[in-house]
Structure 1
């Protein structure tokens, strides 16, 4: 019996300790808290991949821009899109559009990318969170973050284009600013 417990402990440490270590290793200046109706989602920012996009997201977050904005386009098994103050998918912030910062980072479940028009240099404030892998997006959209905790809350966002009763961002904040 003790041999079984030892094996179980080794397997558990291999599976669970890395996940816990990753959450505790987050840099508060490069971590976002995204509060949804069902709870808090923690996002690791990726300035190593997209420094201008990360700076834009932090600027808009600190200005309160995202608070109260709806998820206007939510496609099952694909992604949830938000960041448009008009709620139509055509709006953005008053700041100028950003040049693309494409990378080789894969668009996997939990990855966050910047939305844009057909112009690669048109990203502004809208972003999307991946529900599932989408390899066809790699190198075509800018990856700027990834969900590290709370993906099960993202999964609960109401689907639709637009959803009949859309979910919204209750509050978004940079972890370094959280009280």
Structure 2
């Protein structure tokens, strides 16, 4: 099943991106499988951009940290944010915060970035998935992944009220998240 998912993800990405890829198939150690109520999302982690952040996401995923975590802040036409165990946007894991790993990667639809406080070196466990391009984030946040398939499931996540900074009442959640290499 793992090979089938990886091959399908690579094919969908290659067909949908319009851009050539150096690798035909992503490394299963660097692919996340996120199960949502609306479908499955496959995410390629990009350690060449943000090795510390990718390792943090991989570690927390393997620990089951993200299972059941809500998308507490979702702004239509912008992004969907998750990764806070308190659901308030103020929490994180028990691990120390990470230093920023800014890159030239543009924050466009399907890119994943680390959420943080005002301090650029305050990312911990929260991350967001871009619903649209946001050039104002370029070079200001750490980009660490990109959606390979399942963006329609991300688009279906319940949106919050823009007037309330996207905070969501009765939010959708990550049902389960795994590293593809760990799936039999």
TM-score normalised by the chain length of structure 1: 0.88
Q: What is aligned with 2:108? A: 108
Q: What is aligned with 2:169? A: 164
Cα 1:17–1:153 change in 2 (3 A) is closer
For 1:157 and 1:17, locate their aligned partners in 2 and report how far apart those are by CA, in whole Å.
21
Q: What is the RMSD computed on CA atoms of the aligned residues? A: 1.8
Match status 1:173 vs 2:178: yes
For 2:154 and 2:24, locate their aligned partners in 1 and report how far apart those are by CA, in whole Å.
21
The answer to whether the 8 A contact 2:38-2:157 is kept is no
Q: What is aligned with 1:46? A: 46
For 2:148 and 2:110, locate their aligned partners in 1 and report how far apart those are by CA, in whole Å.
8
Q: 2:15 aligns with which of 10, 14, 19?
A: 19
The unaligned stretches of length 5 or more in structure 1 are 1-15
For 1:76 and 1:17, locate their aligned partners in 2 and report how far apart those are by CA, in whole Å.
23
1:17: how far off?
Answer: 9.3
The unaligned stretches of length 5 or more in structure 2 are 1-11, 161-165
Report 1:5-84 matches (<5 A).
18-19=14-15, 25-84=25-84
Spell out, residue by residue over 1:108-162, the C-alpha distance to the aligned partner (whole angstroms, 9 max, x if none). 0000000000000000000000000001100000000000100011000000132
Q: Which runs of 4+ in 1 moved over 3 A?
A: 20-24
Q: Which has the larger radius of gyration?
A: 1
The answer to whether the 8 A contact 2:13-2:149 is kept is no
For 1:95 and 1:38, locate their aligned partners in 2 and report how far apart those are by CA, in whole Å.
30
Q: What is aligned with 1:9? A: none
Q: What is aligned with 1:124? A: 124
For 2:69 and 2:13, locate their aligned partners in 1 and report how far apart those are by CA, in whole Å.
35
1:24: how far off?
Answer: 5.9
TM-score normalised by the chain length of structure 2: 0.85
Cα 1:17–1:40 change in 2 (3 A) is closer
For 2:38 and 2:157, locate their aligned partners in 1 and report how far apart those are by CA, in whole Å.
9
For 2:126 and 2:24, locate their aligned partners in 1 and report how far apart those are by CA, in whole Å.
28
For 1:73 and 1:18, locate their aligned partners in 2 and report how far apart those are by CA, in whole Å.
30
